[in-house]
Structure 1
Amino acid sequence: MGKIFKLPPEVVSKIAAGEIVESPASVVKELVENSIDALSSKIKVYIEEGGKDLIRVVDDGLGISLEDVELVFERHATSKITSFDDLKNLYTFGFRGEALHSIAEVSKVELITRAQGEEKGTRIVVEGGKKILSELGYFPQGTSITVRSLFYNIPLRRKLLRSPSVEWNKILKVVLSYILAFSEEVEFYLYKDGELYLKSVKDIKENLKIIFGVDFVKNARELSLRRWDYALSGFIALAGEGAGDFFTLVNRRPVRDSLIRRAIIDALFIPPGKFPVRGFIRIEVPPSVVDQNIHPAKLEVRFLKPGEVYSLVYDAVRETFSISEPTAESYRASLPKNIAEEVPTLRESLFEYDTLEEKRQRSSIRVLARSSKGYFIAETPDGIAILDPHAIAERLLFEKLKFSRNVVQLLLPVVIQLDMYSFSILRDRLPFLKDIGFEIEEFGRNAFILRGVPSPLADLNINWAEAIKSMVEENSSELVKAWANLACHGAPKLGDVREPAELQTLLDELASYGEFEICPHGRPLFYLLSYEELERWIRR
């Protein structure tokens, strides 16, 4: 008796997702998951032109039997479930029976498969949803699916695909996530335009070196915690300890989950808008306590008991980094004295700096003294100001970068070693980096050499490797964002400016570019206590 069945209408109505094929990466995701569900030990992924021209996934799994193979391209035909209640005990990736049908509707597909224990296999060719050929033959055990000319019959959709390099980077990230999820069970081979790009091994630490780099493995902390019916594992490192991305895996399925990310942010006291964490977290939970049917591509999940999952991640991270809980007194002391004080909005930040209308015109500022925390006190005709030297220096560097196009050679070139994913992205951005004043080129496997930098930054003490990596991590491919990012790296940190005269020089130089109240990222340069407010406060 066959394993693949057409789902009844009452089940289809509850699980149907609609759109499955969004890009070449979504095709790769579906095909790799099918190979994993087939208990494959080797999975080979072939990509040409970023997946636009060809995607092929070959595995050595169980294969599809002669009895079932004719159903594989039927919509809602699946071997994973027969009723909606089966989702409560589901340990496979696929279950809707939509993926192959959807892929075949918008491409030219060839399926070659032979089931374990059967002498012959089957070859099927489908174009635009229409079966062209079905024949028997002697094939290796396992399954090979080739997808050609994605969206060939929907010209607008094909035109809307990004460049081959962008689509390739999306595919690379998909494959890397499954390498992390199945390091112990599956060997992955990824080919790009006919050449082997990467090969994983059945060793998690070796795969971490491939994905994140050697420095990450040296500095990463291993997470491990079991509680209730949950099991958490993974490796994470903070920014500066190897570059790369962060992967979240729930029952080995790559997902986007704000709850898990929020638990990490809270555990490490990460400031708003930042996430300087690299690595991956893998959480195993019973299928009955997680809903994986809320997103068409199954990229999001919903936990039955989110509080337990949050607590699991929060405690695992804090234990791993040996962070003790703050006391109520220390927490209150960390709160701003006046939480109602107005702060700049996004509209006042670098994203709309061209149209920013300053709230008031400032006259000259006279710097008086430095506080023990690194801030400065200054006098203005309007009142007393508290100055942030880092924000002032950052704004000054930003203005200099806007007007400078000169490149200065570094005395000693800097070699920048990246993980495979970041290297692929940065290679695509080399023309952009050269446009903004960097002299940089490839320098061996997953590495670049930096020989020249924009002139305003030449004499500053900047960790160039970290500055370039951050531009990869923060997707700084827009000119204004890139200038702001570099200015932040080049500006002296709070506490580095020691003397009032030093800050006075920065203010006088900034005044030659105009009058500003915020840094490129939207933070205020100063807080002004007007004489009127001061007199009301002391009741004069």
Structure 2
Amino acid sequence: MSSIIQLLPDHVANQIAAGEVVQRPASVVKELLENAVDAKATDIKLIIKDAGKSLIQVIDNGVGMSVTDSRLCFERHATSKIRQAEDLFSLHTKGFRGEALASIAAIAHVEMKTKQDQEELGTHIVIEGGKFMSQEPAVLPKGTSFAVKNLFFNIPARRNFLKSETVEQRHIVDEFQRVAMAHPNIHFTMYHNGSEMFNLPISNFRQRIVNIFSGKTNEKLVPVKEETDILSLQGFVGKPEFSKKNRGEQFFFVNDRFIKSGYLHHAVMAAYEGLLKDGSQPSYFLYLTVPPHTIDINIHPTKTEIKFDDEHALYAILRSAIKHSLGQFNVAPVLDFDRDPNLDTPYQYQNKEAEYPTIQVDRSYNPFADDKPSKSFSTPSYKKPEAQPNWESLYVGLKQAGQELAEMTFENDAVTSSLFEENEVEQEVKRTYQIHKKYIVSPIKSGMVIINQNRAHERVLYEAFLTSMTVHQASSQQLLFPLQLYFSAPEMDLLAELKSALENTGFVFEAMEVDHVMISGLPVNVTESEISIVLEELLRDLQDGIPDSSFSQNDTIAKSMARSLAIKTGTYLTEKEQENLVHNLFACKEPDVSPFQKPTFITMSVEDIDKKFSV
């Protein structure tokens, strides 16, 4: 029997490895940026076209590569960071995978230009689908330029699985932000389709965070710092009042490497216990430095998960440090036994005797005397009435009135009719009842209907918003003063794309700047206090991509806004509000389901109720 196991050719093995390394264009961005950081660059440029599908280029001014290294870096398992297996536990750099460049070159058109500082000429290499097309010397500046074109050109199935440009661009921005925040000592710039998205000069950690997320981020941050034998912690956490519904601004960096850790996230949430509303997430940007031999980085293909030797100690230190910072900066309630200096005695009154008030009484005053009292003291006294009332005059005529009262005759007090008319009695009967501030019960001919108030209001708002966007006749309520809201650069791009659709719902945008918007009008269903929550949840819901068709885009916006503005469970409704909700629900085109295809009400017939009592 012939053998059936055989070794794969290199180009096939590289394409298989590319499936692990390159999941989307953002994966290429991450690898190239980390290589540029490892090359000791102080200026890194990222150039993107068509969300990375057409071009991903990273230009740095690092140490560059020699002729031999420039060819060898595209071989499998080729790296400058590892010499033996023990080196995996003492890593201080990032790009140690060894097959990243080989995998990228196997599925794209790659053009690399590199030159070392001491060399006169550099090297220009062109690779297409893993095949070396050319290698020649060239006059180049110091550093490396790595251009990846037509990603997945030879694997169309993988290319078809890519999301829309908005989604892929968001993933690229996420990777760019993570690398840029970990290295504030490097100047980063990013360009997308010829326009500059980020320009981050060399700065400290706080300024780098503010430059990335713009807006009023600076006033939201509370510094955190702790030094121990097993951990060096620094960074910033957000004030509780600036918490959001999504987990977008949450970053852990361990030894200048971005990681994800649910365990450490739980430690942060424990420090905020009692300070956040239900469902709110705080912002945090925390930089942890630990000895390299106490962590294992090589446990996940994307290197974003790390195994710690002593997680319990890190949990305790992180929780206590954040809690201390929140209390130190008067964010969390703390016990303060220091006296208030405002209550201290002023300096000029310290040796002065207190003056006691004197009381003077006119003992000769007789309130029943006819003559006026003598005023032998200087303090004012109560003024006596000029004329004493004649109390007997109040009873004059009372006797005659009593006689007339006795002579009055009363009508027969027999009940001849009901106190209320029948229609008035019907009006007094309640038509709806609220149960546990969650359900509305209303009687019907066959029994009763039980309505979920949250889902019912979602359906009412959803159809109202959808109608406004379709007919383009939305009503707006004008604000006395324009409202200014700050957003990050990716969120501003998303808002710019949604502007026309939001205007059809009733929003009026007075201006859209680089990091904020000016809103002068709101939909009639939105209050000024709710606007920031509505837009934040809308941006969060649309982060997975905006549908291409106009109707699908409007449908997504209407669903998001309806969910944000709908009456929540636990809200008390008056009888009038209950009736309006019931009437509006059954006036909808599809009253039986919410916009998210969940039932809005159930019915119970009299027979069903009788069965409950037939036991």
TM-score range, shorter chain: 0.7 to 0.9
Contact 1:390–1:493 (CA under 8 A) maintained in structure 2:
yes
- Which residue of structure 2 lines up, in the alignment, with residue 136 of structure 1? 137
Contact 2:592–2:600 (CA under 8 A) maintained in structure 1:
no
Unpaired segments ≥5 residues, structure 1 = 1-15, 326-362, 527-540
d(CA) in 2 for partners of 1:64 and 1:482?
A: 50
Q: Deviation per CA, 1:458-515: give whole Å up to 9, x if none.
A: 5x45432331122113447677775454345435678975856555654565566698
Q: 1:376 to 1:50 in 2, by over 3 A?
A: closer
Quick check: 1:407 aligned with 2:474? yes
Q: 1:149 to 1:319 in 2, by over 3 A?
A: same
- Which residue of structure 1 lines up, in the alignment, with residue 409 of structure 2? none
- Which residue of structure 2 lines up, in the alignment, with residue 470 of structure 1? 537
How far is 1:25 from its partner?
A: 0.9
- Which residue of structure 2 lines up, in the alignment, with residue 255 of structure 1? 259
d(CA) in 2 for partners of 1:368 and 1:436?
A: 31
Q: Which one is further off, 90-99 or 291-300?
A: 291-300
Q: 1:521 to 1:221 in 2, by over 3 A?
A: farther
Quick check: 1:193 aligned with 2:193? yes
How far is 1:114 from its partner?
A: 1.7
d(CA) in 2 for partners of 1:106 and 1:375?
A: 55
d(CA) in 2 for partners of 1:481 and 1:273?
A: 25
Contact 1:376–1:388 (CA under 8 A) maintained in structure 2:
yes
SS at 1:45's partner residue?
strand
SS at 1:68's partner residue?
helix
SS at 1:276's partner residue?
coil
Contact 1:245–1:473 (CA under 8 A) maintained in structure 2:
no
- Which residue of structure 1 lines up, in the alignment, with residue 37 of structure 2? 36
Q: 1:428 to 1:289 in 2, by over 3 A?
A: farther
Contact 1:407–1:439 (CA under 8 A) maintained in structure 2:
no
Contact 1:152–1:158 (CA under 8 A) maintained in structure 2:
yes
Contact 2:243–2:282 (CA under 8 A) maintained in structure 1:
no
d(CA) in 1 for partners of 2:488 and 2:182?
A: 18
Amino acid at match of 1:254: F
Contact 2:123–2:136 (CA under 8 A) maintained in structure 1:
yes
Q: 1:69 to 1:316 in 2, by over 3 A?
A: same
Quick check: 1:490 aligned with 2:495? no
Contact 1:17–1:296 (CA under 8 A) maintained in structure 2:
no
Amino acid at match of 2:495: L
Amino acid at match of 2:324: E
Q: Deviation per CA, 1:18-55: give whole Å up to 9, x if none.
A: 61111111111000000111111111111111111111
SS at 2:57's partner residue?
strand
d(CA) in 1 for partners of 2:235 and 2:255?
A: 13
Which one scores higher on RCO, CA 8 angstroms, separation ≥ 6? Answer: 1
Amino acid at match of 1:59: D
> How many residues in Structure 1 have an aligned counterpart in Structure 2?
473
Q: 1:444 aligns with which of 513, 523, 531?
A: 513
How far is 1:242 from its partner?
A: 8.3
SS at 1:78's partner residue?
coil
How far is 1:396 from its partner?
A: 5.5
Q: Deviation per CA, 1:163-221: give whole Å up to 9, x if none.
A: 333322221121111121111x1010111223332210223333323322232211222
d(CA) in 1 for partners of 2:584 and 2:87?
A: 69
Contact 1:409–1:453 (CA under 8 A) maintained in structure 2:
yes
Quick check: 1:299 aligned with 2:309? no
Q: Which one is further off, 391-400 or 516-525?
A: 516-525
Q: 1:378 to 1:131 in 2, by over 3 A?
A: closer
Q: 1:229 to 1:75 in 2, by over 3 A?
A: same
d(CA) in 2 for partners of 1:248 and 1:521?
A: 37
Quick check: 1:308 aligned with 2:309? no
Q: Deviation per CA, 1:512-532: give whole Å up to 9, x if none.
A: 669889997989999xxxxxx
Q: 1:132 to 1:441 in 2, by over 3 A?
A: farther
d(CA) in 1 for partners of 2:200 and 2:153?
A: 32
Amino acid at match of 1:408: S
Contact 2:478–2:522 (CA under 8 A) maintained in structure 1:
no
How far is 1:92 from its partner?
A: 0.5
Contact 1:190–1:197 (CA under 8 A) maintained in structure 2:
yes
- Which residue of structure 2 lines up, in the alignment, with residue 268 of structure 1? 272
Q: 1:388 to 1:248 in 2, by over 3 A?
A: farther
Q: Deviation per CA, 1:133-154: give whole Å up to 9, x if none.
A: 1122332221111111111122
Percent sequence identity is 30
d(CA) in 2 for partners of 1:446 and 1:281?
A: 24
- Which residue of structure 2 lines up, in the alignment, with residue 6 of structure 1? none
Unpaired segments ≥5 residues, structure 2 = 1-16, 335-428, 445-449, 547-552, 603-615
Q: 1:227 to 1:501 in 2, by over 3 A?
A: farther
d(CA) in 1 for partners of 2:101 and 2:176?
A: 19
Matches within 5 A, 1:216-227: 216-227=217-228
SS at 2:475's partner residue?
strand
Matches within 5 A, 1:174-193: 174-183=175-184, 185-193=185-193
Q: Which one is further off, 105-114 or 282-291?
A: 282-291
How far is 1:428 from its partner?
A: 4.1
- Which residue of structure 2 lines up, in the alignment, with residue 107 of structure 1? 108
Q: Kindly report the root-mean-square deviation, in angstroms, between the aligned alpha carbons of the 2 structures.
A: 4.3
